[in-house]
Structure 1
Amino acid sequence: MKGGKLNLEISGKLSQKLHITPQMKQSLSILQMPITELLQELNSYLEDNPVLEESENKENEESSKSSDDDRDEEPVKEDTDGDEIDKIDWEEFYRDNNDITYTPTDEEGYDLEKFVSGEKTIYEHLMYQLKTSGCSGEIGAAAENIIGNLSDEGYFLDEFWEVAQDVDVEESDVEKALLLVQTFDPPGIAARSLKECIHIQLSQFNVEQVYVDFIAELLEKHEKDLIAYRYDEIKSSLGIEDDTFEYMMFLMRKTDPKPGLNFGGRGNQAIKPDVYIVKKENEYDIILNEEGIPALRMNTYYLNLLKNKALDGNTKEYIEEKVKNALWLIKSLNKRQKAIYRVVKVLTEVQTDFLEKGINYLKPLKLKDVADETGLHESTVSRVTSGKYAMTQQGLIELKSFFVKGLDTDTGDMSTQKVKNMIKDIVDSENSDKPFSDQRIVELLNGQGINIARRTVAKYRDELGIPTKSQRKRIRR
């Protein structure tokens, strides 16, 4: 090559790539699924895995039931990476594991049929959440307008200025109101586009941020490639492996592109909570809702077939893989059952006053507090509580609503929701001609033993949609 120079060199490059085993994906997915999704997934597993079958007799139910009764004493182990299943000693497995089963809880003595609602529109569902959020004033008015003008599919298609004009508020108030409504159930509600709808749902499902970012980039830059099934180009552009891409597709398939269509026009609907918290005498019983979930076991025909020395290698490998998958599924279901029970039991013990008296009696509670009590990792507690609901005497409550931030007081921590309600009560009772300043509200709260800064009062007042002192004085003239 004339005038050219050929340089040869060897260089090393370190890079990180995501890798998560199929078993771990399955276990994490099962842990996070609400009851309705779990039923659908189990049907798919039963169709796909011949080793897995429904148990038609109840010979194992008594032993399973006794183990359920001992849930308080039995430790809940974190999920492993699946190495233990990959290293199965098949001879030992034949001796000890033929009776591995999953049996749903079968609580008796309660009439759960009373937990039925009439037809509920998306508007009613969202307005209930708005009222219990404690938001009012300009932001509350804007939120109500947004809720009343969502499309049938649950999207917010208006402009901020239109809502601001309708309810006579600032556009910044409309933006805050939209962010609030987007935290409501169903996940993805009030999104402005399909991309935002999916992003909101993945965030609320506590999907790892790296996957949320990858999916956002996929939808932003590779929508046409996705529609045309040019998957290799997508993987090359994003620099991800096949299993990571498959997991991303799995996550997207779990989202609902039209969250508003889940309500209205379908007659009476049975509420499908994941757990019932039922008061019995002077304590609360935790009842997992596993209605419709089949009892599972492994088919002994295939287990015995593996003992056949004449079995060809490919068939043996296929059956062994299906046995591993069935075993992992059953273990994952049992872990899910115990983890939900453990977490809800702690939530119930901490928030007894809330269950008895209402939202003002919620106590400050963090994920770490429940993790410490249950021995679970914080991320596991998060997955257990995300997207799942409990039926209580206070109504249908999302489990994550049991977690609230707190403020220091002379008598201990107090929930921010209760402090907000106190601020609202102070403003409602003030002299209309001489409204209280934020500093005066601080002094009144300090007099009740609540240690709070002026900027915090201003923040809570703004979140409640309460105008400033001067604005309230002008409005009331």
Structure 2
Amino acid sequence: MKITGKTTTKQTLSPGVIQLTELIQMNCHELEQYLLEQAMENPAIDIDSLYSSSVRAELFEKVQWLNSFGRAPEPGGPDDERADAPEPAAAAPTVRSHLLQQLTLLDLEKGDEDICRYLIGCVDGHGFLNEDWAAAAERLGVPAGRVEDCARLLRGLSPPGICSAGVRECLIAQLDEDEDGDGLIKSIISGCLEELSRGHYTAIAKELSVPVSRVRRAEERIKRLCPYPSAAFDGSARNCSVVPDICIEQCGGRLRVWLPHSCTPYLKISSYCRELRSSAGDPEVLRYLDECILSASRLFANVSRSESTLLLCAEKVAELQREYFQFRSAPLVPMTLADVADETGLSVSTVSRALRGRYIQCIRGTVPARALFSRRLESEEELCSADRAKLLIRDIVDTEDKRDPVSDARLSEILSGKGVRISRRTAAKYREELGIPSSFVRRQENG
């Protein structure tokens, strides 16, 4: 047997790089939730003023509410009366008091009502309920199935989608409430929501074996749904409009770009953890605290880098689309991810991750960042966007002879005559994305 030696090079990503990649893709709400989770696990993380006073109060009241289940009421004391029992809704009345009010109208056994009140205390500010049924059952001393039954009961309260586990479940619950049992819409929400947010209509249509036109109609229905159940009765901070990750505004004739929910200024190492380290005598405790501080420092550095990357990309987008952000009537100019990558020195994939799912607050309202990008086409006189090509196709089809519809090859020729060069296959692709049937089908329909 012959033994040979071979040297190979294998590239692996460090945990820090993986963490940075994940952070870049998080929107402001996801980042705040992630940091809160990390703070719960790492005592060295002190997130100072990251959340508003109302949210801090909500967390404080929630802890008080949960702890109240562990002590017996004193005879004759305030806990002796059910009406005086601490209610989690004190910190977030728009969500929890609404549920508690409905709870009083239900004819429940005392045990079930206590479970429901406990679960209401676990509802977050968006109206979602993400609770471990087994842990809740152990804490309350009841079967897990009974806790699940009570959670199911709460999901039947108003508004539609309340106490859902997340956005997808909330959206689907609203379809059920409206008796809109369209299987396609549910399929898109369940498995293609991210693709839909990117405008990948053709890919969704192929995956679900439906026409692009049906995907577009489903999108219109989904847009009318509310992602957060609390928005139905909270008209202030949390409503159906999305929270912008980027703000672009005019300031003295110039465009100012900033991140309204930046976390970087509020991240710091816990002073208590530092004091504990300085007085620690046990080497194991000292090693543990050092690891916590090092992990927190790396996290803070990556958060700062991810936000700097997002801000850099946003600044270049504002620069390339300057007139669009300065004047309401100005059209978008053709812009690709590669353009932003060239301007920033970043890779196209990094730019894509940074801007994916982001929303921009500007003079035109809140717009998705993806709406500012379009693919470019070769043109004799100018560089025009795919949107313009689709507009021309729509005009041609609308004015065609219904007895002799324009074929895809003919569409390509007509657009070429107008200075827009696209192939027959590309013309067919754009036609499908517009939901326009083929010339053969159009002829049959008008025959």
TM-score, normalising length from structure 1?
0.52
Structure 1 equivalent of residue 260 of structure 2: 289
Structure 1 counterpart SS, 2:39: helix
Q: Deviations over 1:330-374 (max 9, x none)?
A: 212221222111101111222345556889944433333212211
Residue number in structure 2 paired with 1:30: 23
Contact 2:184 2:218 in 1 (8 A): no
Q: What's the secondary structure of 1:341's corresponding residue?
A: helix
Q: CA deviation at 1:146?
A: 9.4
Query: CA 1:457 to 1:13, structure 2 compared with 1: closer, same or farther past 3 Å?
Result: same
- CA drift of 1:469 comes to 3.3
Query: Paired residue for 1:467?
Result: 437
Q: What's the offset of the Cα at 1:306?
A: 5.2
SS at match of 1:412: coil
> Given the superposition, is the C-alpha separation of residues 46 and 178 from structure 1 closer, same or farther in structure 2, using an over 3 Å criterion?
farther
Distance 1:365 1:307, change over 3 A: same
The code of the aligned residue for 1:296 comes to: L
- Is the CA contact (8 Å cut-off) linking 2:310 and 2:354 kept in structure 1? yes
Which piece of structure 1 moves more, 174-183 or 29-38?
174-183
2:318 to 319, 327, 348: 348
Q: Secondary structure of 2:425's partner?
A: helix
Deviates most, 8-17 or 43-52: 8-17
- The amino acid across from 1:154 in the alignment is I
Among 386, 390, 401, the residue aligned to 1:416: 386
Change in CA separation of 1:24 and 1:458 when aligned onto 2, cut-off 3 Å: closer
Deviation at 1:384, TM superposition (A): 0.7
For 2:210, which of 168, 171, 175 is the aligned residue? 175
Structure 2 contact 358–369 (Cα < 8 Å) conserved: yes
How far has the Cα of 1:424 moved from its partner?
0.5
Residue 49 (1) aligns with residue 46 (2): no
What does 1:271-282 align with in structure 2 at a 5 Å threshold? 271-280=242-251, 282=253
How is 1:285-364 mapped onto 2 (pairs within 5 angstroms)? 285-290=256-261, 295-300=266-271, 302-303=273-274, 311-355=281-325, 361-364=331-334
Q: Does 1:400 align with 2:370?
A: yes
Deviation at 1:416, TM superposition (A): 0.8
What is the Cα deviation at residue 455 of structure 1?
3.1
The residue type equivalent to 2:210 in the other structure is E
- Would the alpha carbon gap of residues 353 and 434 (structure 1) be closer, same or farther in structure 2, given more than 3 Å must change? farther
Quote the Cα distance in structure 2 between the aligned partners of 1:304 and 1:383.
39
Question: Is 34-43 or 453-462 further displaced after alignment?
Answer: 453-462
Say whether the 8 Å CA contact 1:275–1:390 is kept in structure 2: yes
Return the alpha-carbon distance in structure 2 between the equivalents of residues 313 and 265 of structure 1.
48
Unaligned runs of 5+ in 2: 51-158, 162-166, 172-179, 192-204
Q: 1:423: Cα distance to partner? A: 0.8
2:33 is paired with a residue whose SS is helix
8 Å CA contact retained: 1:363, 1:406:
no
TM-superposed CA distance for 1:33, in Å, is 1.0
Q: Secondary structure at the match of 2:210?
A: helix
Distance 1:292 1:335 in 2: 11
2: CA distance between counterparts of 1:37 and 1:43? 10
Report if the CA contact (8 A) 2:316-2:340 is conserved. Answer: yes
CA distance in 2, matches of 1:333, 1:463: 38
Per the alignment, residue 140 of structure 1 pairs with: none
Q: CA deviation at 1:263?
A: 5.1
- CA shift, 1:438, in A, is 3.4
- The code of the aligned residue for 1:426 comes to I
Which position in structure 2 is the counterpart of 1:64? none
- Deviates most, 401-410 or 287-296: 287-296
Q: 1:432 to 1:328 in 2, by over 3 A?
A: same
Overall identity of the aligned pairs, in %:
28
- What SS does the aligned partner of 2:189 have? coil
Q: Which residue of 1 aligns with 2:349?
A: 379
- Counterpart of 1:27 in 2: which secondary structure? helix
Report the number of matched residues.
305
Contact 1:274 1:290 in 2 (8 A): yes
Cα separation, partners in 2 of 1:315 and 1:390, compared to 1, 3 Å? same
C-alpha separation in 1, matches of 2:326 and 2:396: 25
Paired AA for residue 288 in structure 1:
L
Cα deviation, 1:399-428, whole Å, max 9, x if unaligned, reads: 233332110112332111221111101211
SS in 2 for 1:365: coil
The corresponding residue for 1:229 is none
Tell me the residue number matched to 1:243. Answer: none
Q: Deviations over 1:189-229 (max 9, x none)?
A: 9xxxxxxxxxxxxxxxxxxxxxxxxxxxxxxxxxxxxxxxx
CA contact (8 A) 1:362 1:404 kept: no
Write the distance in 1 (CA, Å) between the matches of 2:356 and 2:431. 28
SS in 2 for 1:277: strand
Q: Say if 2:212 and 2:434, in contact at 8 Å, map to a contact too.
A: no
Q: Any gaps of 5 or more consecutive residues in structure 1?
A: 1-7, 58-118, 127-144, 157-169, 190-259
Q: Distance in 1 between matches of 2:340 and 2:301?
A: 23
Paired residue type of 1:349: E
Q: For residues 87-106 of structure 1, what are the structure 2 equivalents within 5 Å? A: none
Residue by residue, what CA displacement relative to the aligned partner does 1:39-61 show, whole Å, maximum 9, x if unpaired? Answer: 1111122222222224479xxxx
Q: Does 1:150 align with 2:185?
A: yes
Contact 1:152 1:261 in 2 (8 A): no
- Asked if the contact 1:153–1:261 (Cα under 8 Å) also holds between the matched residues in 2, the reply is no
Q: Classify 1:471/1:32 alpha carbon distance in 2 versus 1 (closer, same or farther; 3 Å).
A: closer
One-letter code of the match for 2:25? Q
Deviation at 1:19, TM superposition (A): 4.7
Distance 1:423 1:302, change over 3 A: same
Deviation at 1:171, TM superposition (A): 10
Take 1:147 and 1:355, find their aligned partners in 2: how far apart are those partners? 38
Q: How many Å separate the matches in 1 of 2:278 and 2:5? A: 48
> C-alpha distance in 2, partners of 1:325/1:398?
33
1:431 aligned onto 2:424:
no
- The offset of 1:390, in angstroms, is 1.9
Residue 266 of structure 1 and its aligned partner are, at CA, apart by: 4.6
* 1:388 correspondence with 2:358: yes
